[in-house]
Amino acid sequence: MTQEIGSAAHAKSVAAANAKRQRNHSRLIRVSAYSVATVLALLMTTATLPPLLADQSDRAVINAPITLLTAPINGELRQMTGRVGQQMKPGEAVAYVENRRVDRTTLITLESKAEELQGALRAATEKKQADRQYIAALDAEILKQVDQTTRRLDAEIHEARARVGAAEAGGLAKKAVVDRQQSLVSRNAASVDLVRPTQQQYEAARFDKEAEVAKLDQRIAQLSGVKSGIFVGNELSGLALLAQKRRDIAYDAQRMEIEETQIGSSLAAQQSLLAAEQERLENLTNAPIVAANGGSVLSLASTAGRHVKAGDAIATITDCDKAFVVGIFSYRKAQALAVGTRVSVTGATEGTNRQGTISEILPKASEKTDEQYAVPFPQTERREMYVLVSLDPAEAAASAERAAVQSDICSIGQWVTVTRSNGWVPSASVAWRTVTDGLTGPRAAALWESTSSTALAAAEATSRQVVRAATSPEAKQAWLSVSSAAARTVEAVATGFRNLVSWIASPKPNHDSRHTDTKPDDAVGAAL
């Protein structure tokens, strides 16, 4: 009866325990389901709403325009003066391409023609100088003869004037005789025949005067012509020949001067062509690859000693002063992020906060657009846009000296966070990163270190107290009492088991054991 009651009580306790376990299990399942639903709802909310409403984006990268330097000719790279990260000045050479197998036929032709023109120019110059020397000799000779002729004509003019005076005096005398004879004829003192011969003589004297005057005028005209360089008459034929010869030589000298000028112009043009051809061959032989506008070497696509073809990429140059930030935002923020809006740019490390202004908004970017910049634009999703941020000039210049990302040129390719000024809705990823940094960041690490140090000190103190308590005399006496009681208990249990084994192994009589035999439990109890 006692066993049945015990079995029933045990069954009830087991059922109650199972029911309690079932209730706890159901409660645990509900709590887990609610927790999972809450986490999923939180994740969906943080993944859906912040991208649409956030004033912040960590999907932004620092970028800059690039210039691709290519080989201008076929040849071999002989020298690479530029290094990755090196700042190049405007017009400074990054590399040189050498090509010794260049056709020089045009250069040889131009050089031979230039030599011919130089010879013709020398001949024209020498002929012009000889003509000028001959003209100088003729001028000296003409001047000498003109001087002599002038003196002779002056003498002849004086003589002619004297003859004119004599003729005039003779004419006046004849006129006086004619007047006297006419007076006699008028008084009938002489015959008319007497006047006629005298009158003819007077006319002859007058004509002689006129002839002498004409000769005087001729000499005066000759003298004036000689002084003016005009030589007329048989007497001046020698001077006329010299003057004509001088004019011919002067015309020839002028022609030589004109020819010299023409040859000089042709020679200058030929030399210009020759210099251009030499420069062209020099560029074809040893062509520099220069950074026209300067900048920083972003990458090198070839090495010295390599054979390249015209148009092969050699280096990539970027201008750090034109660095900007490309960020991705939702279309819903287009009005709030209009051109001219002020934003702040935060780097991946502390101390890299920069200010900037939104300069452009792009709905999308193509591969052709990516080719113009150092790094490709980040990939956008549906209903997203690109926001281009121009860094403030002072900050943009300082960004070239920062080393936020190792081996990057002026932080190009560094992922940053763009936040609109006075914006209050953060990005989900930035918020989670902030929480993570709060748990695992430097401050949290310091807090955990302090807590662990305190816990370790407390554990050491407790351990020392336990050891001290365990080794005290009271603790030893208590351990002796406990060990003695435990030994007696073990001894009683062993005696009971031995009695039980003896009872089971002994022979039993054929009568009712319920009245005469001792029960095993009683034997064990007696032993105990």
User: What is the pLDDT, as a whole number, of residue 197?
Assistant: 78
Q: What is the CATH number of domain 67-103+283-308?
A: 2.40.50.100
More confident residue, 60 or 506: 60
Mean pLDDT of 513-517: 40
> Alpha helix (H) ranges present in 187-236?
192-228
Which one is predicted more confidently, 58 or 359? 359
pLDDT tens figures, 260-294: 999 999 999 999 999 998 888 887 788 888 888 88
Q: What is the mean pLDDT of residues 455-482?
A: 60
In the chain, what is the greatest distance between 2 CA atoms, to the nearest angstrom? 251
CATH 1.10.3470 fits 105-271, yes or no: no
- pLDDT for residue 265: 92
Mean pLDDT: which of 3-17, 34-48, 175-189, 451-465 is highest?
175-189
Give me the residue spans of the domains in the chain. Answer: 51-64+321-394+408-439, 67-103+283-308, 105-271
Give the span between the Cα atoms of 255 and 251, in whole angstroms.
Answer: 6
Is residue 385 scored above 50 in pLDDT?
yes
Average pLDDT over residues 130-143: 88
pLDDT value of position 118: 92
The pTM score is 0.47
**Taking Cα atoms as reference points, which of 340, 356, 355, 354 lies closest to residue 389?**
356
Residue 147: the pLDDT is 84
CATH superfamily of 51-64+321-394+408-439: Efflux pump adaptor protein, beta barrel domain (2.40.30.170)
Mean pLDDT, to the nearest integer, of 381-396?
A: 79
In sequence order, the 6+-apart residues with CB closer than 8 A to the CB of 377 are: 63, 326, 365, 369, 370, 386
Q: Outline where 351-507 has alpha helix (H).
A: 367-370, 393-399, 428-440, 442-470, 473-505
Comparing 170-184, 307-321, 377-391, the range with the smallest average pLDDT is 170-184
Percent of the chain with pLDDT over 90: 8
List the strands of the sheet with 66-70, edge to edge: 66-70, 313-318, 295-300, 87-88
Q: Please state which of the ranges 155-169, 319-333, 353-367, 393-407 shows the lowest mean pLDDT.
A: 393-407
pLDDT tens per residue across span 214-242: 888 887 887 787 777 777 777 777 878 88
Q: Say whether pLDDT at 306 is over 70.
A: yes
Nearest to 410 by CA among 302, 327, 351, 325: 325
Distance CA 71, CA 313 (A): 7
